[in-house]
Structure 1
Amino acid sequence: MGACYRVGRLKVRGRVYDALTMATARRGAKDGVKPKGRRAVLATVDYTLAKRALLREVRHGLRSWAEVCDAHPELMRAAKHVGEQSRRDCPVCGKAKLRLVTYVYGDDLRQDNGRVWPLDVGLTMAADRPGSTCYVVEVCTRCQWNHLAEAFMARVAG
């Protein structure tokens, strides 16, 4: 299993994020200090507009509910056992709170590549490794709605 990450949390527009990930410089491998002038930066991609467009297509009959409520059994299992419950109701059924499932992908993650992590751990892992991406998927465990909510990418700014 990967290294243990323990960090503080920050609330931004109703969402909880890892405060240290976004505020601290990346540590170097040798002496614990990154070369001057370079720091880790998390770029964020929010997929809210894509989600709204998809839901609008369903409401107008251009897509069926069966097409959008199609979560893979492994994603459903991850949402049930590892996912973190959000405050938002499912936009499809409205009967359950959405669960957030976090995956991290990166070339240097090796055995941790593509695993499910708690949100704060996933953000920290992505920030610590340039080229890594943390994906947050929202899942309804009742109707199997799922949609990519956000992606966080580490990059080095100089």
Structure 2
Amino acid sequence: MWSQRSVVDYGLAKRAALASLSSGRVTTTDLCDAHPYLLRAAKHHGEPTDRQCPVCRRRKVTHVTYVYGSELGRCEGRVKMTAELVEMAREYGEFRVYVVEVCQGCAWNHLTVSYVLGTGEPGDRGRRAAGK
């Protein structure tokens, strides 16, 4: 995406969690603890992927994308589709995006990546709405 910046990839944390599972330090119950609201968001608003669940290996994981930022108002904390982020990146000055992978079968969930989007201009939406 054209304005993506401050990217944080949580792949190392994911590998560490899965290594703990395979070594027996944690159980599947410890890792597969998705909140019912997250599972519901994955079912109704998530975006399917081609990647198998790393825990149960029976289903493909779904991505659920959340947006947060002081400029977002009522949209803050909401689930958004990837296609919606393009328009939002042009409309708002700055907001953070969090992508969570979720297995609807075993309830595995893990934050995969976060990044910042937006024009880079603080309060951009207010100026655009006022025609400035």
Structure 2 residue runs without a partner (length 5+): 122-132
Alpha-carbon shift at residue 90 of structure 1 (Å)? 0.1
Q: What is the match of residue 28 of structure 1?
A: none
Q: What is the match of residue 6 of structure 2?
A: 43
Q: After superposition, what is the alpha-carbon deviation per residue over 1:88-147, rounded to whole angstroms, capped at 9, x for unaligned?
A: 000000000000000000001010000011123235535643441010000000000000
Structure 1 residue runs without a partner (length 5+): 1-20, 23-39
Q: Give the TM-score of the pair, scaled to structure 1.
A: 0.70
Which stretch of the first structure deviates more once superposed, 85-94 or 123-132?
A: 123-132
Question: Which of these residues, 102, 120, 128, is aligned with residue 139 of structure 1?
Answer: 102
Residue identity in the other structure for 2:92: R
Q: Give the TM-score of the pair, scaled to structure 2.
A: 0.82
Q: Determine whether 1:94 maps to 2:90.
A: no
Aligned residues: 120
Separation in structure 2 between the aligned mates of residue 80 and residue 120 of structure 1, nearest angstrom: 18
Separation in structure 2 between the aligned mates of residue 148 and residue 123 of structure 1, nearest angstrom: 21
* Cα distance change, pair 64–141 in 1 and its aligned pair in 2 (3 A): same
Q: After superposition, what is the alpha-carbon deviation per residue over 1:34-90, rounded to whole angstroms, capped at 9, x for unaligned?
A: xxxxxx452311111110011001111111110110000000000001101000000
Q: Would you identify which runs of 4 or more consecutive aligned residues in structure 1 move more than 6 Å?
A: none
Residue identity in the other structure for 1:146: N
Separation in structure 1 between the aligned mates of residue 97 and residue 90 of structure 2, nearest angstrom: 9
Query: Once the two structures are aligned, what percentage of the paired residues are identical?
Result: 43
What's the RMSD between the two structures over aligned residues? Answer: 1.9
Separation in structure 1 between the aligned mates of residue 86 and residue 7 of structure 2, nearest angstrom: 11
- Give the helix-richer structure, 1 or 2: 2
Q: Determine whether 1:125 maps to 2:91.
A: no
